[in-house]
Structure 1
Amino acid sequence: MTRSHEPLIRLARFKVEELQKQLADIDRVRTSLNDQIERLEASVPEEQAAATDNKDGYIAYGSYAQAVIKRKQNIRSSLDEVDQQADGIRERLEAAFRELKKYELLEERRVARIEDALRAEEQAELDEIAQTRRRQAH
């Protein structure tokens, strides 16, 4: 009989689960970065309104607006990096999933061969019993 593929299946399943966790972490980071952009964009109208109230606020708003623009650029750069990481993890996840399926299929085939051999053995025993009874009946 061939060896079980269960250890390989467990290892491959572990790889798949770890990569899925990494992808979920990346998705949380992406959500957080998008939330930061939304908060920055939501703060702009408030700051514009405050800037129109007095001269000092109006002067300070220019610096604030530049800082917001720069911060959004930095966050978008971070989003691009996160997306690249996610793409890499997705590719590794697809490969790990294919590997898992390969091992599972090999194990299914191994088990099916064992079951076929057992059925053949049982059938041979039944055939032998039937022949013995036939001989005894004659």
Structure 2
Amino acid sequence: MADMKSRDTLLRLKRFQVDEKRRQLVQIETMIAEFERMANDLDREILHEQEKAGIHDIAHYAYPTYAKAAMARRDNLKRSADELAGQLTDAQDALAEAFEELKKVELLEERDVARERVADAARDQAEMDRTGLSRTEMRVG
């Protein structure tokens, strides 16, 4: 009984770990998407500033200051998204590993439950055999 309780605790822990890894994965994916959205917004603003000034050459002395600043922010966002992409791969690997561990514990649990069913069925059969045997003995005796 204590073994079942510890297995149940282990199963809950493994499920929690899988859920936690999933949350981390979704959080990273959300951040990457947000950074990409913000970078795309900055791209549009840069283009708008260039069109408004009529200058597209960054080296031009009159290139819009806001466009230069927006480019720097956009580049920082893209670098951050790239760094997060590496973290995303690590998070995917961690989720896969946690899922494998969960599956192992679930398989052990299923095996133990099946073993218990067989033992219960054997006990039930033995009880029915004893009951049938005692009834037969009562009729004979």
Q: Which residue of 2 aligns with 1:123?
A: 125
Greater share of helix: 1
Contact 2:46–2:67, Cα closer than 8 Å, also in 1: yes
The corresponding residue for 1:60 is 62
The correspondence of residues 1-138 of structure 1 with structure 2, limited to 5 A, is 3-4=3-4, 5-52=7-54, 59-61=61-63, 63-138=65-140
Query: How much has 1:137 moved relative to structure 2?
Result: 2.8
Q: Distance in 1 between matches of 2:11 and 2:65?
A: 58
For 2:3, the aligned partner's letter is R
The residue type equivalent to 1:41 in the other structure is D
Structure 2: unaligned runs, 5 residues or longer = none
Higher relative contact order (CA 8 A, sep 6+): 1
| RMSD across aligned positions (CA) | 2.2
Q: Give the whole-Å Cα distance in 2 for the aligned partners of 1:125 and 1:52.
A: 95
* DSSP-derived class of the 1:60 partner: coil
Instruction: Output the CA distance in 2 between the equivalents of 1:42 and 1:98.
Output: 44
Separation of aligned partners in 2, 1:11 and 1:98: 13
Q: List runs of 5+ in structure 1 lacking aligned partners.
A: none
> Could you tell me how far apart the structure 2 residues matched to 1:52 and 1:109 are?
73
Structure 2 residue matching 1:86: 3-state secondary structure: helix
TM-score by length of 2: 0.82
Q: Write the letter of the residue equivalent to 1:115.
A: R
